[in-house]
Structure 1
């Protein structure tokens, strides 16, 4: 088991820890662009707010960075406010000095989704490994949109969402029936090529999935548990999300994972 678990007082502190990992990658890049993996959802938002603050206050620059989104809904127009291309622009990249042409996402409008998935997988391979991949976790243990049953070596592909995931995401749409049924997502194998995985989860509704991912059996039933095979994975939690991990959980090392800077 190679996960470093960090429990911090609140979502803002979790966001600062995730921002530390991203800032370290951006400022420590030695030649060539840094590749950032970005997730949408609620849990990463404090990290994105903190990165925007550091850019504006401290001059943290993303001029040489490239960003790659984890996933995208199929069938939403590119300008739909809940397309992940638009969400990440609104919540992060439009507020930084990153080149908009360097922000990449799967093509959820493609006539041939399987071909679009293959193109995105090739783009990721050609770009080289992601330096820091930000991840969230679904209440059923999914990462990206790798639903339960996803193979460990899976690559970017079309996935049909479970009813649970669609219900969880309905809060972002006007009507539950507006949530798309299918998505393009990086696979578990694709995600695993990143140099550093940083999974952030906050709130009590994530506690059962976090406990299953960190302490339960490693397997496709809880896709996030497969991250425990990664050589450098950090899980950043607030106390509510960590509630199922038991006493002595804060800062506990499980295996040989590398901690986020400044939190041990």
Structure 2
């Protein structure tokens, strides 16, 4: 494992994706238990994407996490898909993590509600108390959640908003196997904003695989700027990035 310091962000590079997922999962597990020594409930934001599979599998199989003390959020949701569609991010998290766990609460974004009402509802929930942990990835275009360039704002006044997906984001969903064609991918979504994500006390960012090589290279090399939204992670004082050699070695 290699450790690389990127401003305030620590990046750990593992030989394989499996080792990366185990290390990230163990670090998250340890952090959860450390926080639970100090408070009775933890609030966690989760990404929902195949890039998170190894970490979610570790957390799902852990025998050392008291999920009854964890309140969960997810960071984005498509607009326009029926509630039973497996591509919905809330359904992805249910399948890969939550279905067999006894959670305190999983607050789902319901994009079938009137959109502004749902944005207001979810923003209120997020602001009720501090976010302890955010578990995220980065997109092929450098987005975090669905804050795509050039519309990402580091100083967004809101915690939740409606956005239009750029074509790189939509194509990534096809590349990830979530849809058969870009025509099937919704054009709009509800997303947590960058201030909502980085408000978390601790951030774990998991970035495996060769499809993210260019995005990781840009995160490392570019100035911190809104056209590469993930660069904001380099300013967070308590963030860890986990990647594997298949992603990093070509950077």
> What TM-score do the two structures reach when normalised by structure 1?
0.86
> 1:40 maps to which residue?
48
Distance 1:129 1:14 in 2: 28
Are 1:107 and 2:115 counterparts?
A: no
Q: Secondary structure at the match of 1:158?
A: strand
Distance 1:12 1:97 in 2: 26
> 2:245 maps to which residue?
239
Shift of 1:244: 4.5
Residues 14-163 of structure 1: pairs in structure 2 closer than 5 A: 14-28=20-34, 29=36, 30-55=38-63, 59-99=64-104, 102-111=105-114, 113-126=115-128, 128-149=129-150, 150-154=152-156, 155-163=159-167
> 1:166 maps to which residue?
170
> 2:9 maps to which residue?
3
In structure 2, which of residues 213, 217, 231 is the aligned counterpart of residue 225 of structure 1? 231
Are 1:186 and 2:192 counterparts?
A: yes
Which deviates the most, 227-236 or 14-23? 14-23
Which deviates the most, 18-27 or 7-16? 18-27
Are 1:201 and 2:207 counterparts?
A: yes
Count of equivalent residues: 238
> What TM-score do the two structures reach when normalised by structure 2?
0.90
Show structure 1 runs of 5+ residues with no match.
246-264
More strand by share: 2
Show structure 2 runs of 5+ residues with no match.
1-6
Deviation digits for residues 159-192 of structure 1, max 9, x if unmatched?
1000111111123124431211001111001111
Question: Which has the bigger relative contact order, CA under 8 A and spacing at least 6?
Answer: 1
Distance 1:197 1:214 in 2: 17
> 1:255 maps to which residue?
none
RMSD: 1.5
Distance 1:227 1:106 in 2: 24
